[in-house]
Amino acid sequence: MVLHLLPTRTAGAAENMAVDFLLLQRYPHADAARFRHYGWRSPARTFGYAQKIATVRALLAETDRLRTPDTEGVRLDLCRRPTGGGLVDHRADWTYALVIPRGHPLEELRATQSYHAIHEALAAALREQGVPAETKPAGGDEEPEGGGVCFQRAEVHDVVHGATREKIAGAAQKRNKHGLLFQGSVWRPAVGRPDFDWERFEADFVARLAEALGLPAEPVPWPDFNDDEVSGLTEQYASAEWLEYR
């Protein structure tokens, strides 16, 4: 088994969510773990699969009320994720997806344990550049709650700043017969370092992930997905039916 490192791509919210799901469902090398960092073509927010659209709209109304003059009039792309968690603003984040195939020891862990293991790797990569990052300890054996606005409050095993206690990173997971999809977000402003090297962070994070997974990391070309399947799933994720599913 190997950890495949995919090229960075930028897309709209619906396409990003569709591609992450296809990395779980249709990846041509089913026995390989796969990782990608990606960007957003336009300002975007995503929200968890289980969130009710009425709740999301109420949260959006509250956050939009607090908009500053530089964000007035900005239209934000909105999409429901295939994973759980809360409402995430992607305008200032560093976004990634990791898929761990069925049968890998980390995939077989409980949700809290896999969440913790991946965030420990992320926190270690932040510490490589002097950011005092750590995972928030558990008060019991509970799962991360999610369901609200992601970076307003740190949940168990989220990555927080050791000095400010501000939340730096959170994520959401989905498990099925193909494996585990982990969609993660790092809030750049919470890192607190204007000189932070994000390219170095990616390399350090990948190295720590490979160590946690016990797998060699290998850069690979973009997978040869079926174009019709990609466009069809993107249309589904962009549809009102998907947005208002709950």
| pLDDT tens digit sequence for 208-239 | 999 999 999 999 999 999 999 999 999 999 99
Looking at every residue in the chain, the average pLDDT score rounds to: 90
CB neighbour list of residue 45: distance below 8 Å, 6 or more residues apart = 13, 60, 76, 77, 78, 79, 87, 88, 89, 90
Cβ neighbour number for residue 223 with a 10 Å cutoff? 15
Does residue 92 surpass a pLDDT of 50? yes
Percent of the chain topping pLDDT 90: 81
Return the CATH number at 119. Answer: 3.30.930.10
Does residue 75 surpass a pLDDT of 80? no
Measure the CA–CA gap between 48 and 80, rounded to whole angstroms. Answer: 6
Measure the CA–CA gap between 97 and 181, rounded to whole angstroms. Answer: 7
Specify the pLDDT at position 26: 95
Confidence of residue 60 (pLDDT cuts 50, 70, 90): confident
Cβ neighbour number for residue 62 with a 10 Å cutoff? 10
Specify the pLDDT at position 147: 58
pLDDT digits (tens, 9 = 90+) for 161-207: 999 999 999 999 999 999 999 999 999 999 999 999 999 999 999 99
CA dihedral 105, 107, 111, 112 (to 10 degrees): 40
Confidence of residue 74 (pLDDT cuts 50, 70, 90): low
User: Which domain range does residue 176 map to?
Assistant: 3-243
Query: Three-state DSSP class for 9?
Result: strand
Measure the CA–CA gap between 196 and 201, rounded to whole angstroms. Answer: 8
Partners of 40 in the beta sheet?
11
CB 187 within 8 A of CB 169: yes
Does residue 154 surpass a pLDDT of 80? yes
Distances (CA, A) of 232 to 22, 80, 107, 185, 225: 11, 16, 28, 26, 12
Does residue 99 surpass a pLDDT of 90? yes
Specify the pLDDT at position 143: 45
Structure-block tokens of residue 62: 């509250």
Structure-block tokens of residue 204: 């350090």
CB 83 within 8 A of CB 181: yes
Specify the pLDDT at position 69: 41
CB 156 within 8 A of CB 113: no
Q: Which is higher by pLDDT, 176 or 62?
A: 176
Estimate to the nearest angstrom the gap between the alpha carbon of 44 and the chain centroid. 13
Query: Three-state DSSP class for 158?
Result: coil
| Mean pLDDT for the stretch of residues 21-33 | 96
**What is the number of domains present in the chain?**
1
Question: Which helix or strand (DSSP H or E) is residue 232 part of?
Answer: helix 227-238
Residue whose tokens read 């160590």: 211
pLDDT digits (tens, 9 = 90+) for 103-129: 999 999 999 999 999 999 999 999 999
Confidence of residue 245 (pLDDT cuts 50, 70, 90): confident
Residue 136: what are its φ and ψ, rounded to 5°? -70, 125
Question: Which helix or strand (DSSP H or E) is residue 19 part of?
Answer: helix 13-25
Partners of 184 in the beta sheet?
96, 171
